Amino acid sequence: MDIIVCIKRVPEVAEVELRIDQSGKGIKKEGLVFSLNDWDNYALEEAVRIKEKYGGKVTAITVASEESEDVLRRALALGADEAIRATDPAIEGSDGYAIAKILAAVIKDIPFDLILTGVQANDNGYAQVGGTLAELLGIPHATLITAMEVVEKRAKVNRELEGGLEEVLDVGLPALFTIQSGINEPRYVSIMGIRKVAQKEIKVHDLGTLGLSPENAGEKGSMIVVDRIFPPPVGEGAEIFTGSPDDVAAKVTDIFAKGGVL
């Protein structure tokens, strides 16, 4: 069972005050801590578990700068057998479609039975790469996978729907699935484990070696271009009503009436 896992290095921003960079299209990354995208961690764990059960090989791929080599080393330490990085200055500013095109160029010459990605990325939440990549490769796909069982050349998967519902699909392989968080319990990677793979080869491709031109990446190769980002406007603050329940209800009703709700 040959499995490809697409991963991404993202900043941890949960408890950080973000600042806009000079371009107005991104955030200042100085001082930020970066790690493996949370959803990709579950995808990687699922790939390694399938390999441990059926044998085969896991290949981790990322489209990013040289700084992302640390998440590839982590993937190797967690059980991936090979790692590939697609790096080129022209990649900067690529949207999900352009990233998927680059991944497809990397994958087209690699034998695979299964491709796993995270549902989305922590930094932008677009959730576009997985489905787009499957379409470019011409293989079936399913998103938001919460459980998976592979038997020979088919996969039985549970897919999350709205309202707490799920559907069960039977999909022929090769196929692509985007993995939802909670599907498994990702294993812990030790410092010793990372040291053991410190010298392992990571294959590197640029757009030229992939048969792509600069026009296939960045803003030129994207269908979505970020014009600018900005913090949300600050509101006037909350008003706390006092008085009896009837008085408060009358004030709220009056606000709704003036706003055209009633």
Q: How do residues 161-178 score in pLDDT, each as one tens digit?
A: 999 899 999 999 999 999
Per-residue pLDDT tens digits for 178-228: 999 999 999 998 888 889 999 999 999 999 999 999 999 999 999 999 999
Q: Is 234 within a domain?
A: no
DSSP string of 53-109? HH--EEEEEEES-GGGHHHHHHHHHHT-SEEEEE--GGGTT--HHHHHHHHHHHHTT
Percentage of residues in the chain having pLDDT higher than 90? 77
Q: Which long-range contacts (CB under 8 A, 24 or more apart) does 70-74 make?
A: 70/9, 70/34, 71/7, 71/8, 71/9, 71/34, 71/35, 71/36, 72/7, 72/202, 73/194, 73/197, 73/198, 73/200, 73/202, 74/36, 74/189, 74/194
Q: Return the half-sphere exposure (C-beta side, CA atoms, 13 A cut-off) of residue 255.
A: 7
Q: Is 244 within a domain?
A: no
Per-residue pLDDT tens digits for 31-61: 899 999 999 999 999 999 999 999 999 999 9
| pLDDT (0 to 100) of residue 17 | 85
Q: Is 116 within a domain?
A: yes
Q: How would residue 71 be classed by pLDDT, with cut points 50, 70 and 90? A: very high
Q: Is 100 within a domain?
A: yes
DSSP string of 123-146? TT----HHHHHHHHHT--EEEEEE
| pLDDT (0 to 100) of residue 183 | 97
Name which residue leads in pLDDT, 198 or 7: 7
Q: Is 261 within a domain?
A: no
Per-residue pLDDT tens digits for 219-234: 999 999 999 998 888 7
CATH number at 191 reads 3.40.50.620
Place of tokens 């949370």: 38
Q: Tell me the average pLDDT across 246-260.
A: 89
| pLDDT (0 to 100) of residue 213 | 96
Q: Is 222 within a domain?
A: no
How many folded domains does the chain comprise?
1
Q: Is 257 within a domain?
A: no
Question: Could you list the residue range(s) of the whole structural domain that residue 164 is in?
Answer: 2-216
Q: Is 242 within a domain?
A: no
